[in-house]
Amino acid sequence: CTFTFFQFERTFIAIKPDGVQRGLISEIMSRFERKGFKLVAVKLVVPSKDFAQKHYHDLKERPFFNGLCDFLSSGPVLAMVWEGEGVIKYGRKLIGATDPQKSEPGTIRGDLAVVVGRNIIHGSDGPETAKDEINLWFKPEELVSYQSNSEKWVY
């Protein structure tokens, strides 16, 4: 059987300092992995406040912007890029609603978080944001293109 290499879409996912401190890295990564999505980049970083402001630039008029940027830069963040068919939209579904009180059980925030200011994870909300966020957090050479053995059983 022939399997032609085709690159699916990619999204930027970050486990915020609360998720890292609570020991939820493997729990969260395994949900993306078991679904059938493919990890193509990962690193643990403490973003500067300036970097956090760049990441959240769309929210700069919001009252919580400063506190949010302080929080994102307060400790290690696990930055990741995941690849797969529909991963941008479905990644948001795995994550759940912004406010964990409104996230369905079964979602990451629904199962693992309680308040909006400590909602443990970030995921790009569309193709443009995904592209911008991947470019902000990763250099091109940090993204690994490879064919995983399981792919022909996922697609």
Active site residues: 122
Q: Given CA atoms 106, 13, 147, 3 in this order, what sign does their dihedral have?
A: positive
Tell me, residue by residue from 18 to 57, as one string, x for binding to ligand RTP by CB under 6 A and - for no binding.
Answer: ----------------------------------------
Site for ligand RTP (CB under 6 A): which residue of 29, 39, 42, 116? 116
By CB under 6 A, tell whether 113 contacts ligand RTP: no
Tell me, residue by residue from 59 to 98, as one string, x for binding to ligand RTP by CB under 6 A and - for no binding.
Answer: x----x---x-----------------------------x
Residue pair 14/79 in contact (Cβ under 8 Å)? The answer is yes
Site for ligand RTP (CB under 6 A): which residue of 73, 103, 107, 119? 119
Residue pair 109/103 in contact (Cβ under 8 Å)? The answer is yes
Least Å distance between CB 150 and ligand RTP? 27
DSSP 101: T
Site for ligand RTP (CB under 6 A): which residue of 100, 123, 134, 137? 123
C-alpha–C-alpha distance, residues 91 and 44, integer Å? 20
By CB under 6 A, tell whether 122 contacts ligand RTP: yes
- Here the tokens at position 67 are 């506190």
Count Cβ neighbours within 10 Å for each residue of 30-63 and write b for 16 or more, e otherwise.
ebbeeebbbbbbbeeeebeeebbbebbeeeeeee
Residue whose tokens read 């915020």 = 16
Q: Where do contacts with ligand RTP occur on this chain (CB under 6 A)?
A: 59, 64, 68, 98, 116-117, 119, 122-123, 125
